[in-house]
């Protein structure tokens, strides 16, 4: 790594959620392909999350305070003066003043945001989901907006599955009269704020035509022990995936997925997996609506309003219509091509190069 570093400010805790953490890892991996070192200024809880950051070749500086606080601003400015990064990427709920102070420190500032709740003094604004659109954002002149499906942050291990998953897997053999010929994937995303994974796994297991259920969760899930017990009790029909390699193997083999409209929904659309979505986070509504409009998924509604019978009926309808599943797969692959991280880094490099040219012009004029 021979170029100026990039500083990423985000937190991964139960209060802040873990979706930003996953986005940070994808962004850092893409940045490193441009020979730039990456520093995470973050609070991690549980602390083993830092291991994945370091395994990826990144450095970690422990944040002393919650992102967005006055004390955190002082520490972030201190790290900017120490590291002299080319850019600071902020993926946290912070104020306009916070971002303005970072911009005044001299580095390019990129905000990753999916709520459009403030006016952004940042140089770049990234929304890795499918909504809201440009009309919802307020920003200063000269800002570069990176919005829509072209900038979906798809992990490289998932993107590599596109050619492998070129058609629907073959039906499963039915053994001893149990289950059915289809394999379901339950993937609610980096967060499960309403602890629905175990409940939905039981519904999937009891649904007709489903022979196996693959449950994808992270090691920091609050109900992990209960899910492990459930998988062990039903080990002939339930499998648990925790690591990236395990997740990739399950994505290739599943016939459909039950998701929550988060960034994982975009990754599964990129591969071509038909989806049913149950929303758990208000910020994912625009994402889910766009996926449904494009024909890549079916949204069943807000989690409180979706009954077990609604889920079973939707599964029955989807598994009874192979043409619908095929159409969902094609629409998803057409919508999300998986090149979002590369486009993000190219845009960042263009902005950094333009900034150097402007600085050089000012120096020459002086």
Spatial CB neighbours of 165, under 8 Å, sequence gap ≥ 6: 251, 252, 271, 272, 273
Residue with tokens 């039906």: 171
Fold classified for 157-335: Rossmann fold (3.40.50)
- Name the pairing type of β-strands 124-127 and 275-279: unpaired
Q: 6-153+339-365 sits in which CATH class? A: alpha beta
Tokens linked to 166: 């070129």
CA 197 to chain CA mean position, Å: 18
Q: How far apart are CA 73 and CA 83, in angstroms?
A: 15
Residue 196 phi/psi, 5-degree rounding, is: -100, -5
Ordered by start, the domain boundaries in the chain are: 6-153+339-365, 157-335
Reduce the secondary structure of 141-184 to three states and give it as a string. Answer: CCCEEEECHHHCCCCHHHHCCCCCCCCCCCCCCCCCCCCCCEEE
Count, in order, helices (H) and strands (E) of the chain. Answer: 13, 15
CB atoms within 10 A of CB 115: 12
Q: Which of 93, 86, 83, 125 is nearest to 15 (CA)?
A: 93
Is 141 exposed, middle or buried, given 0-12, 13-18 or 19+ CB atoms closer than 10 A?
Answer: exposed
How many Å apart are CA 60 and CA 188, to the nearest integer? 27
Q: Which residues pair with 108 in a beta bridge?
A: 87
C-alpha to C-alpha distance for 290 and 191, rounded to whole angstroms: 21
Q: Contact, 86 vs 5, CB < 8 A?
A: yes
In degrees, to the nearest 5, what angle opens at C-alpha 253 toward C-alphas 251 and 254?
70
Query: Could you state, in chain order, the average pLDDT of each consecutive group of 10 residues for the chain (366 residues)?
Result: 88 94 96 93 95 94 96 97 96 96 95 95 96 94 94 94 90 74 94 93 93 93 92 93 88 95 96 97 95 97 95 96 96 96 95 65 40
Confidence (pLDDT) at 174: 74
């Amino acid at each position: 790594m021979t170029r100026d570093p990039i500083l990423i400010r985000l937190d991964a805790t139960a209060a802040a959620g873990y979706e930003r953490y996953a986005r940070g890892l994808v962004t850092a991996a893409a940045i490193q392909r441009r020979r730039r070192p990456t520093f995470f200024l973050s609070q991690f809880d549980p602390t083993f999350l830092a291991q994945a950051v370091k395994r990826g070749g990144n450095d970690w500086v422990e944040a002393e305070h919650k992102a967005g606080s006055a004390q955190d601003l002082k520490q972030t400015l201190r790290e900017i003066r120490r590291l002299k990064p080319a850019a600071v990427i902020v993926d946290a709920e912070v104020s306009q003043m916070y971002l303005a102070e970072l911009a005044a420190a001299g580095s390019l500032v990129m905000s990753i945001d999916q709520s459009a709740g403030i006016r952004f003094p940042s140089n770049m604004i990234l929304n890795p989901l499918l909504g809201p659109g440009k009309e919802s954002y307020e920003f200063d002149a000269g800002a570069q907006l990176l919005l829509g499906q072209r900038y979906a942050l798809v992990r490289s291990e998932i993107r590599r599955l596109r050619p492998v998953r070129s058609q629907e897997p073959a039906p499963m053999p039915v053994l001893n009269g149990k289950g059915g010929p289809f394999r379901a994937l339950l993937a609610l995303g980096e967060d499960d704020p309403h602890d629905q994974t175990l409940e939905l796994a039981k519904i999937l297991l009891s649904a007709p035509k489903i022979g196996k259920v693959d449950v994808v969760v992270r090691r920091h899930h609050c109900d992990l022990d209960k899910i492990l017990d459930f998988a062990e009790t039903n080990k002939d029909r339930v499998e648990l995936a925790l690591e990236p390699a395990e997740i990739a193997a399950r994505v290739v083999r599943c016939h459909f997925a039950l998701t929550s409209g988060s960034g994982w929904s975009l990754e599964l659309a990129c591969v071509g997996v038909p989806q049913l979505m149950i929303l758990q986070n208000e910020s994912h509504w625009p994402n889910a609506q766009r996926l449904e409009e494009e024909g890549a998924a079916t949204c069943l509604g807000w989690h409180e309003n979706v009954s077990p019978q609604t889920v079973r009926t939707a599964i029955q309808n989807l598994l009874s219509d192979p043409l619908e599943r095929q159409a969902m797969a094609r629409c998803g692959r057409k919508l999300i091509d998986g090149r979002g991280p590369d486009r993000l880094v190219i845009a960042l490099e263009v902005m950094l190069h333009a900034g150097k040219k402007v600085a050089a012009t000012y120096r020459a004029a002086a």
